[in-house]
Amino acid sequence: MIQVGMAYYPEHWDRSLWEKDASRMAKLGVHAVRLAEFAWSRMEPEEGRFDFGWLDDAIDVIARHGMRVILSTPTNSGPMWLYTDHPETVQWGRDGRPTDLGIRGHRCIQSPVFRRYAGRIVEEMAQRYAGRPEILAWQIDNELESNHCTCPSCREAFRRWLREKYGTVEALNKAWGSEVWSGEISSWEQIQPLLAPDCMPDWHNPAFMLDYERFGAWSLADFIQRQRDIIKDHDPDAIVTTNSWFCANMPDFYQEFASLDVAAYDNYPPMDLPEDGETLYSNAFGLDLVRSFKRKNFWILEQLGGAGGCWSPMGPAPWPGMIEGYALQAVAHGADLVSFFRWRSSCSGAEMLGHGVLDHDDRDNRRLAEIGRFCRRLEAMPELDRTGLHSDVAMLYGPDQEFVLKNQRQSRNFAYWTQLRLFHDACMGLGVNLDVAPESAALEGYKVVLVPTHYVTDPALAARLEAFAAGGGTVVVTNRSGVKDKHNNCIFGEALPTVFRRLCGCRVEEYDAIGDDRRHIAAVNGGSFAVTGWCDLLEPEGAQVWARYTEKFYAGTAAITKNAFGAGWAYYVGAVGERALYRSLLLEIFRAQDIPVLTALPQGVEVTTRSGEGGTYRFFFNDTLHGKTFPVDGQMVSLRPMEMKIQGEGGEWL
């Protein structure tokens, strides 16, 4: 069955509480307890002196109550003696100076000295705990980010990485276009990956910036694999993962999880929900993205358990049903384990106002009751873990696109994730499963492939999309696609969308980066939609016009086109529209491809289907703070705010 977990920090609490806490968790329905990700100073209080007795006792208590352990390596936060005795292990910031001690994550993952000590503590843990039946899985480190450290070790590692990639400074200068602003280098030592706060990233050479991001992603993946290899050397059958999150220094998630057994994520959906009808806030896109990291079901290692309050002022209290509803939303999108953060709110440290399931008064509360209901609902569906999501639609996500569009903004109101989420939002609102797939994914088996803003262009992908469309599939490409080559330099001498031009049957005659302004487009077959952020002015080259602009100097110019290509179709969406535009466009495409849709779902109701050997389950989630009523299969369904209803294979409600 789907497993329920709980984050617990026995080192924070008197031992007299451990037995009581384990008993309460077990009675609640918890299967796994996550331990130790910040406990290095307790495991190795002095250099070379290890103390695992307290951890042995905590694991024994948990196991005695019928639960297992997700054991974390504590390398996110080293002990103070490590940093003071070995200052070269400290991470340096963008200003080129060591990070202040006393916070978490202030270690350099490229430092040879840090790696030696990190490897040693992981080795000690693996020797002691690997293969024990109490251990369900291992978590490496905690909420890792792409490596943006600027210390001497990382500077030299970046230079080595560039030397291996380019071979000579001449080849690097050519790839980077370094002649601009006299940026040509004559020795590797001249490369300085320092991004001072007073110098915005978009002032740097974009080709340099992309390689710096790629290096940071490689550095992180290498750090993870080294720990994974230590654990696997002691237990080849161990389940090893790490807890990803969507952070400022975004990694390449596909590299991050390449050597790991299961993808995992820390899931903190919003609690202060907008009511303007246009703001995208659903967390569903992130869940489907996490499923793409390994292209299979995933785990949640931190699930919303209470109001936030660690890194900013305290957030609002969760609405009734929100804790349970968001946990079920994760399951609906492929989570096979949901571990809540945390069992009790801390009484000390920076996270004391970041609420867990229990408040500081230690009493049973509404949040605990909701998690209990969540556990009981899962118990009523014991075969659910033998199902997954099967999709006719794929949307391609690329780490390179994430990197370059973050560092070189296209307009004031233009974001890569916005377009991804607009398409995803429309699919959820039509009850259509969607895979968020890597750009390298095989396209066979899909009927529709969505390609939002493929900015850094891979000609091989364009060829695969042409073959997909020629075979009867439908492709949707959007604005700012085909702009750059693999080095992040603009493609010369070819009209946009360059490598996608033949597939889409149109060219971009001109574009208008309208930022926060709004324009309107009119669909040829009816309907008017507001657009913002970007406007491509399209000249059809065999394509039909799907929508035209209605104002400014480009009134009457094509904004969206539709091109017959072989047995299939290719659409080009030149603007960033409101939510209704994507629903209208995808509804036409899905109907043409015989993909079943639900057209009567109110805005804010998401429908996802899990199916497989364990049966078929449809999840109806009201991701709003208002009640919703709508027809399904000839009957009316009502959902309270944040309520999830689940329909079984025979139409019964579970």
Which active-site residues does the annotation give?
Answer: 143, 302
Among all chains, which residue has been given the structure tokens 């469309």?
469
Do the Cβ atoms of 456 and 405 come closer than 8 Å? Answer: no
**How far apart (Å, rounded) are the C-alpha atoms in residues 69 and 19?**
15
Query: Taking Cα atoms as reference points, which of 323, 317, 319 lies closest to residue 305?
Result: 323
**How far apart (Å, rounded) are the C-alpha atoms in residues 260 and 227?**
10
Do the Cβ atoms of 108 and 145 come closer than 8 Å? Answer: no
**How far apart (Å, rounded) are the C-alpha atoms in residues 398 and 392?**
20
- Token readout for 274 is 């907008």
Question: What are residue 197's phi and psi, to 5 degrees?
Answer: -55, -30
Cα dist from 312 to 309, 343, 349, 358, 641, whole Å: 6, 21, 14, 20, 26
Long-range contacts of 115-118 (CB under 8 A, 24+ apart): 115/223, 115/226, 117/78, 117/82, 117/86, 117/89, 118/73, 118/75, 118/78, 118/227
Residue 415, burial from CB neighbour count under 10 angstroms (0-12, 13-18, 19+): middle
**How far apart (Å, rounded) are the C-alpha atoms in residues 154 and 223?**
13
CA 290 to mean position of chain CA atoms = 5
Its sign, for the CA torsion 42, 46, 48, 50, is negative
**How far apart (Å, rounded) are the C-alpha atoms in residues 548 and 524?**
7
- Residue 342 DSSP label: -
- Token readout for 315 is 């957030």
Helices (DSSP H) in 351-500: which residue ranges?
366-379, 399-407, 416-429, 459-470
Angle, in degrees to the nearest 10, between helices 206-234 and 152-166 = 100
**How far apart (Å, rounded) are the C-alpha atoms in residues 643 and 325?**
6
Question: What are residue 125's phi and psi, to 5 degrees?
Answer: -65, -45
- Residue 317 DSSP label: P
Helix (H) or strand (E) holding 547: strand 544-549
Q: Is 628 helix (H, G, I), strand (E, B) or coil?
A: strand
Query: Taking Cα atoms as reference points, which of 62, 643, 28 lies closest to residue 371?
Result: 28
Query: Taking Cα atoms as reference points, which of 190, 262, 249, 184 lies closest to residue 215?
Result: 249
**How far apart (Å, rounded) are the C-alpha atoms in residues 80 and 99?**
13
